[in-house]
Amino acid sequence: MNDLLTVDDVFAGYGDIAILEGVSFRVGQGEAVALLGRNGVGKSTLISTLMGLTDVRSGTVRYRGEDIGKWPSHVRARRGLGLVSQEREIFPSLSVEENLVVATRAGSWTLERIYDLFPRLYERRRNMGNQLSGGEQQMLAIGRALIGNPAVLLLDEPFEGLAPIIVDGLVDAFRRLHQEGELGIVLVEQHAALALELTERATVLDRGRVSWSGDSRDLLAHPEQLSALIGLAEAAA
């Protein structure tokens, strides 16, 4: 499998605050990777590092084999890294369709294809961003990332705080994206068992370091180990 994104021995943080220490990580084309760990261990910081939003002290981040350490975040987005942040960051004063149109880049993901993945967005296409429910906003955030036609999709806790029926719909969309095999996907998720069910590989962070990395199925099959790595509450959620 060709690696789309590789992180090699990265130390990074914000200003004088070091958060990631010697982290290595990779994502292949068509592969879904779970990024797990307790709250505050560096998962979101790693996502931010991939997008060029932290201070990298040492180590390398490569995209398609090219060192992107000096690329600003907008260049990384234009070249193929798509981010769905916890904040969603949709434009509240634009309609659903306008939110999608302004993010469009040439490629296989079109407006019609987004509406096929999320029919609810088609139904709400003329509504403003601030008129959407939390679940609809999350659909829009994912749709907006996809319509930029990324090669790698970074999802930072996409199911957090949503009703179970909405989560079920988003999980179905995730499975569909994964089965189509076009994207490398990184899934940050507190519900560890769900994340492991949706991915091939997993990396667990603890205090800014990689504490475990391997096959998602192996970790899912050993709940005691999973609980020890990330805590009983998170593992069982």
Q: Tell whether domain 1-80+152-165+181-237 is in CATH 3.40.50.300.
A: yes
The yes-or-no verdict on residue 234 having pLDDT over 80 is no
pLDDT at residue 235 in the model: 53
Percentage above 70 pLDDT, the chain = 97
The yes-or-no verdict on residue 236 having pLDDT over 60 is no
The yes-or-no verdict on residue 233 having pLDDT over 60 is no
Question: Going by DSSP bridges, is the β-strand pair 152-156/184-188 parallel, antiparallel, or unpaired?
Answer: parallel
Q: Report pLDDT digits (tens) over 95-152.
A: 999 999 999 999 999 999 999 999 999 999 999 999 999 999 999 999 999 999 999 9
pLDDT at residue 182 in the model: 87
The yes-or-no verdict on residue 237 having pLDDT over 60 is no
Q: Say which DSSP state 136 is in.
A: H
CA dihedral 100, 102, 103, 104 (to 10 degrees): 80
Question: Whole-model pTM?
Answer: 0.93
Length of the chain, in residues: 237
Identity (one letter) of the amino acid at 23?
Answer: V
pLDDT at residue 231 in the model: 75
Answer left, alpha or beta for residue 17, where phi above 0 means left and psi between -120 and 50 means alpha.
beta
Residues whose CB falls within 8 Å of the CB of residue 80, separated by 6 or more in sequence, listed in order: 4, 63, 64, 149, 150, 151, 152
Q: Report pLDDT digits (tens) over 199-224.
A: 999 999 999 999 999 999 999 999 99
Token pair listed for 66: 């090219």
Cβ atoms of residues 93 and 55 within 8 Å: no
**What average pLDDT does the segment 141-170 reach?**
95
Token pair listed for 233: 């509450």
Sheet harboring 152-156: ordered strands across? 81-84, 152-156, 184-188, 32-36, 201-206, 209-215
pLDDT at residue 181 in the model: 86
Domain boundaries, the chain: 1-80+152-165+181-237, 86-149
Q: Report pLDDT digits (tens) over 59-111.
A: 999 999 999 999 999 999 999 999 999 888 899 999 999 999 999 999 999 99
pLDDT at residue 140 in the model: 97
Angle (deg, nearest 10), helices 134-147 and 164-180: 10
Assign 1 a pLDDT band (cuts: 50, 70, 90).
low
Assign 2 a pLDDT band (cuts: 50, 70, 90).
confident
